[in-house]
């Protein structure tokens, strides 16, 4: 039955069942490829050895081919003497046809040489001494000693590769050893990826207000390649109905395309052409048509799944995180199956959730997480990124799935984390706390030395709380205790050590020429900013800068107070783009963004380090860098003096 619903939201499991049923009969076929092109492919037909390996009885050592029984009883103190035949058997040469090793005879032989008739062992040259026309054997050798017999590694007719086996270097070596010049493999699925929308610009082009660079196509193409598919770049098509229709219909009609991915244009709106055109084409083409348009997912609700004339066509949401979540959940399993791999193959790790994560009743929820070492194993730290986050998947190690009937996952619960990359492992150094450009510089130095580092910007207070729970190794902090005028030390949790970092200048950033704050006294600055006539951009709760802002405003809540940026760069971007009149950030970031800067406070940015992790190589190296005179000079030049 043809399904033509338009954002008729259905449960995830229903959508998955319909999708699997609609695509179960679709395959890509097989092809014969040279062995040199088989790496990473999946074997489609059983391969049997046509020869024995080795193909002859072969010496494993330089020495003498002998009858083992002639050496029995030989010891270093009482060697056995054998007469040496006047011949030397070299590797790659056949012995004379009439050669046979008689009792009491030894034949010189090189490693890889053919064992002559009558011999059944090789005495290593190290266990012999010359003796005229003979040799003294100082150690007995057992039958078969130092010999590889024909077919002992691989026998003629033995199965050496079965269907479904991925071909990697060890497999190509085995195939080459039996003389295979080519192999039958599953054909790689060819997947067309097209980005759509008037606002989408190819990397390298010029973007205007409202335009975005096309990151989805790059991510999807490369993820497809990682899955073993053959990605086909379809470029960017604007919201032009005829061009889009021709592109979709042409791809479906082209027998060389196995799957079509469209990014964007899935929500219910006048400018969303992809979904409407797929529905229209489904009405004219054979096949299951649209099997789902609207799935109870968060993020990813607008997903469209269809099969048009035996070609799967998927319209992914436009927001990057939504697009990649839905790709991994619905498209990746199909790509793996079409390529001959296990569709359910995914790397999973068990981890503890350090913070509560809310679900969405009635919708399956996906949440990106970072993996960090914790006191009791591995913790999955929620990123809290929205569906429009471009960098979220690049930063995340994996994601968790919260079923539609689960309201929330409680703090401390164990969760299953699906790794984005099976090779991912927790970083050598996890810094969780306040963000700073100076700290970025230090971490960049560490990364250049080969350490895997991860920075999770959650603010000073949240970073210290994470250290207290055993998540992360180091926290950047710049908290001022008003009662003592002391930075950071009064807030240290038990089990941590404070390592002095550097100073930095915090202040008010604004567009040049828009605010004249230089003539305002420090005592009056808060009243001016909190008067309500200026829109601000705030920092996230728990950030040291947020404490500074609240102290400056003295309880005022001007427009924009609830607009919270997680980093200093986020504050600068909001001001530079005119979304806010002012925000508090560090001088280095404000100057780089071309903003005016009014100094407010000279603060201390220090590192809180878990004492039990100070000896870890990455942590120890970070502390060395903090104390290095050359690195200190670099930080000073950036505006972060000691």
Q: Which of 2-11, 216-225, 343-352, 442-451 shows the lowest mean pLDDT across its residues?
A: 2-11
pLDDT for position 2: 41
pLDDT at 6 over 60: no
Structurally, how many domains does the chain consist of? 5
Give the CA distances from residue 477 to residues 38, 192, 609, in Å, rounded to whole numbers and listed in that order. Answer: 52, 47, 11
* 191, 232 contact by CB (below 8 A): yes
What kind and span of H or E run contains 251? helix 241-253
Report in angstroms the alpha-carbon separations of 484 from 481, 489, 570. 6, 10, 31
| 483 and 558 in a common domain | yes
What range defines the domain where residue 609 resides?
Answer: 428-642
Element (H, E) at 439: helix 437-448
Specify if 2 maps to a domain.
no
Calculate mean pLDDT across residues 317-333: 89
Q: Do 526 and 621 lie in a common domain?
A: yes
Residue 124 dihedral angles phi and psi, to the nearest 5°: -65, 145
329 φ, ψ (degrees, to nearest 5): -80, -40
- Beta-carbon contacts of 391 under 8 Å, excluding residues fewer than 6 positions away, are 385
Residue 417: pLDDT over 70: yes
- Mean of the pLDDT values across residues 481-502? 92
Give 264 or 106, the one with higher predicted confidence: 106
Percent over 90 (pLDDT), the chain: 67
Confidence of residue 389 (pLDDT cuts 50, 70, 90): low
Average per-residue pLDDT in the chain?
A: 90
Which pLDDT score, from 0 to 100, does residue 370 have? 85
CATH of the domain at 164: 3.90.105.10
Provide the pLDDT for residue 198: 86
pLDDT tens for each residue of 402-415: 999 899 899 889 99
Q: For residue 408, give the CATH number of its domain.
A: 2.40.340.10
Say whether both 135 and 157 belong to one domain. Answer: no
Q: What is the pLDDT of residues 567-590, one digit of tens each?
A: 888 999 999 999 999 999 999 999
pLDDT band at 457 (very low <50, low <70, confident <90, very high): confident
Rounded CA-CA distance 260/194 in Å is 8
Query: Would you place residue 388 in the very low, low, confident or very high pLDDT band (cuts 50, 70, 90)?
Result: very low
- Same domain membership, residue 475 and residue 624: yes
Q: How far apart are CA 281 and CA 253, in angstroms?
A: 12
Collect all residues with Cβ–Cβ distance below 8 Å to 165 and sequence separation of at least 6.
Answer: 42, 43, 171
Distances in Å between the alpha carbon of 277 and those of 283, 295, 313, 625? 10, 19, 11, 58
- Considering the domain architecture, whether residues 72 and 17 belong to the same structural domain is answered as no
121 contacts 66 by C-beta, under 8 angstroms: yes
Whether 387 has a pLDDT exceeding 50, the answer reads no
How is 305-357 classified by DSSP, letter by letter? EEEETTEEEEEE-SSHHHHHHHIIIIIHHHHHHHTTS-TT---EEEEE-SS-E
| Residues 296 and 196 occupy one common structural domain | yes
pLDDT at 544: 80
Question: 399 by DSSP, 3-state: which?
Answer: strand
Asked whether residue 19 is domain-assigned, the answer is yes
């Amino acid at each position: 039955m043809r399904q033509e619903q338009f954002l008729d939201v259905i449960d995830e499991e229903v959508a998955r069942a319909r999708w699997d049923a609609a695509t179960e009969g679709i395959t890509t076929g097989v092809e014969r490829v040279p062995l040199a092109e088989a790496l990473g492919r999946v074997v489609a037909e059983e391969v049997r050895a046509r020869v024995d390996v080795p193909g002859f009885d072969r010496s494993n050592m330089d020495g003498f081919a002998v009858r083992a029984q002639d050496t029995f009883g030989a010891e270093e103190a009482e060697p056995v003497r054998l007469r040496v035949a006047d011949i030397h058997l070299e590797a790659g040469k056949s012995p004379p046809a009439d050669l046979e090793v008689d009792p009491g005879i030894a034949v010189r032989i090189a490693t890889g040489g053919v064992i002559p008739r009558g011999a059944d062992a090789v005495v290593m040259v190290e266990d012999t001494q010359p003796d005229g026309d003979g040799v003294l054997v100082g150690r007995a050798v057992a039958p078969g000693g130092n010999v590889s017999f024909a077919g002992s590694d691989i026998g003629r007719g033995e199965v050496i590769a079965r269907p479904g086996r991925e071909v990697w270097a060890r497999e190509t070596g085995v195939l080459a050893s039996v003389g295979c010049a080519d192999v039958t493999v599953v054909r790689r699925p060819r997947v067309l990826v097209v980005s759509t929308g008037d606002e989408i610009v190819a990397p390298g082009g010029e973007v205007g207000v409202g335009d975005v660079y096309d990151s989805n196509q790059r991510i999807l193409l490369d993820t497809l390649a990682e899955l073993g598919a053959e990605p086909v770049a379809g470029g960017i098509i604007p919201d032009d109905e005829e061009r889009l229709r021709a592109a979709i219909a042409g791809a479906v009609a082209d027998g060389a395309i196995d799957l079509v991915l469209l990014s964007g244009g899935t929500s219910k709106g006048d400018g969303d052409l992809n979904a409407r055109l797929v529905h229209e084409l489904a009405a004219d083409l054979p096949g299951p048509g649209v099997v789902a348009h609207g799935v109870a997912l968060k993020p990813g609700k607008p997903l469209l799944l269809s099969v048009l004339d035996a070609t799967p066509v998927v319209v992914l949401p436009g927001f990057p995180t939504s697009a990649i979540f839905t790709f991994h959940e619905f498209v990746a399993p199909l790509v793996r199956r079409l390529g001959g791999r296990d569709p359910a193959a995914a790397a999973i790790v068990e981890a503890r959730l350090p913070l509560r994560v809310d679900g969405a009743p009635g919708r399956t929820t996906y949440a990106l997480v970072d993996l960090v070492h914790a006191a009791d194993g591995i913790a999955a730290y929620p990123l809290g990124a929205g569906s429009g986050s471009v960098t979220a998947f690049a930063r995340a190690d994996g994601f968790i799935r919260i079923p539609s009937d689960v309201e929330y996952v409680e703090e401390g619960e164990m969760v299953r984390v699906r790794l984005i990359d099976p090779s991912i492992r927790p970083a050598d150094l996890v810094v969780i706390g306040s963000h700073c450009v100076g700290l970025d510089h230090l971490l960049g130095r560490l990364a250049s030395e080969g350490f895997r580092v991860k920075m999770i910007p959650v603010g000073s207070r949240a970073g210290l709380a994470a250290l207290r729970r055993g998540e992360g190794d180091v926290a950047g902090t710049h908290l001022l205790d008003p009662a003592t005028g002391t930075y950071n030390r009064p807030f240290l949790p038990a089990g941590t050590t404070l390592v002095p970092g550097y100073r930095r200048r915090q202040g008010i950033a604004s567009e040049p020429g828009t605010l004249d704050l230089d003539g305002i006294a420090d005592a009056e600055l808060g009243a001016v900013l909190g008067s309500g006539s200026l829109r601000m951009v705030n920092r996230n709760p728990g950030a040291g800068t947020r404490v500074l802002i609240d102290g400056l405003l003295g309880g005022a809540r001007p427009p924009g107070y609830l607009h919270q940026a997680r980093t200093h760069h986020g504050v600068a971007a909001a001001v530079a783009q005119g979304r806010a009149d002012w925000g508090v950030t560090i001088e280095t970031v404000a100057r780089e963004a071309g903003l005016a800067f009014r100094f407010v406070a000279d603060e201390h940015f220090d590192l809180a380090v878990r004492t039990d992790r100070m000896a870890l190589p990455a942590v120890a190296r970070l502390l060395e860098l903090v104390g290095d005179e050359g690195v200190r000079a670099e930080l000073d030049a950036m505006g972060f003096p000691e």
